[in-house]
Amino acid sequence: MKRILSKCAQLWRLLRLGDGAALRTTVQRWLWSDATYHGFAVHGQRVPVLAPTKLAFRLRPMTNHDVAEIFDTAGLDGEDLSMLLARRRLWDAGFTQAYVGVTEDNRLCYLGWIIDGATQRRHLIDFFAGTFPPIGRTEMLIEASWIPPWARGNGVMAPALNALARAGARPDTTRIITFVQDTNLASTIGVMRSGMAPYITRLEHWRLLRNSIEWLGAPAADDVPDVVVPVPVLIPVPAPALHAVVRYLPTPSPSTDQNHTNEVPT
């Protein structure tokens, strides 16, 4: 019921904003659509430290004071608007373990969530209704990354995900997971540069407001060995974007500088 009310709230916001294109896109997706998402993972104790990017920023927990700026819809339409409103749904639904990237001039350049299997497992299942695999107590999900249009093209995604993974990992965290749609090449590159490797695949089907999920390569929730090595993703449909990334993407180079601008403050 909470999920249905949340979707109704999302549609109401789109109606109030008067964005017909975003409203049509959202409704069309819920009525009849198919999508493929690739899951990536890294061991919680093996997250590399990346070098700074050209846009210097630091990661910190999001607060209520950030809501107006990070969820500002001015100038957004279509898919960008729908994506940002979907992230607002997460915040309103009580997923408050969110982080923002803050530049040197105090602008917010990134938004992302940590969903911890030890504390938020039930909330994840209730809200997403099977959209994600059941995560174990020693697993963590990074979800709903968002980069405002003005900050794109500056290499923000990789160091932000990397810093977020290190911020959320506990001493017993064995696996950190995130998902990217197969059509999003830029985010795929950012995820892999952050230190994550292809892991599982999710096939999502919407039919008349009902969705069904197929998983390929997903382990049981608590079937987490002591040492987790991400396995190759099983791709049931052509995924040229992912193949291209695997061919040319360099391996992240570890950095010994623990005080660079993307480091999470302690």
- pTM higher than 0.85, yes or no? no
Confidence of residue 174 (pLDDT cuts 50, 70, 90): very high
Residue 85 to residue 21: CA distance in whole angstroms: 14
Interior/surface letters 35-64, b for 16+ CB within 10 angstroms, e for the rest: ebbbbbbbbbeebbbbeebebbbbbeebee
Q: What is the pLDDT of residues 207-259, one digit of tens each?
A: 988 889 998 875 544 443 333 333 333 333 333 334 333 333 333 333 333 33
Name the maximum alpha-carbon separation found in the chain: 52
The DSSP element (H or E) to which 192 belongs, if any, is helix 185-193
Residue 202 to residue 211: CA distance in whole angstroms: 12
Confidence of residue 265 (pLDDT cuts 50, 70, 90): very low
Q: What is the pLDDT of residues 138-161, one digit of tens each?
A: 999 999 999 999 999 999 999 999
Q: What is the pLDDT of residue 4?
A: 62
Residue 159 to residue 142: CA distance in whole angstroms: 13
DSSP letter assigned to residue 217: S
Q: What is the pLDDT of residue 229?
A: 34
The residue whose two tokens read 């069309």 is 28
Query: Which one is predicted more confidently, 26 or 33?
Result: 33
According to CATH, the superfamily of the domain at 36-204+211-248 is Gcn5-related N-acetyltransferase (GNAT) (3.40.630.30)
Q: What is the pLDDT of residue 255?
A: 36
The DSSP element (H or E) to which 128 belongs, if any, is helix 121-128
Q: What is the pLDDT of residues 60-108, one digit of tens each?
A: 999 999 999 999 999 988 889 889 999 999 999 999 999 999 999 999 9
Residue 112 to residue 99: CA distance in whole angstroms: 5
Contacts of 56 by beta carbon, 8 Å cutoff, 6+ apart:
103, 104, 261, 262
Sketch the domain layout of the chain as residue ranges: 36-204+211-248
- Which residue from 57, 43, 39, 60 is spatially nearest to 195, judged by alpha carbons? 43
Distance spanning both ends of the chain, measured CA to CA? 38
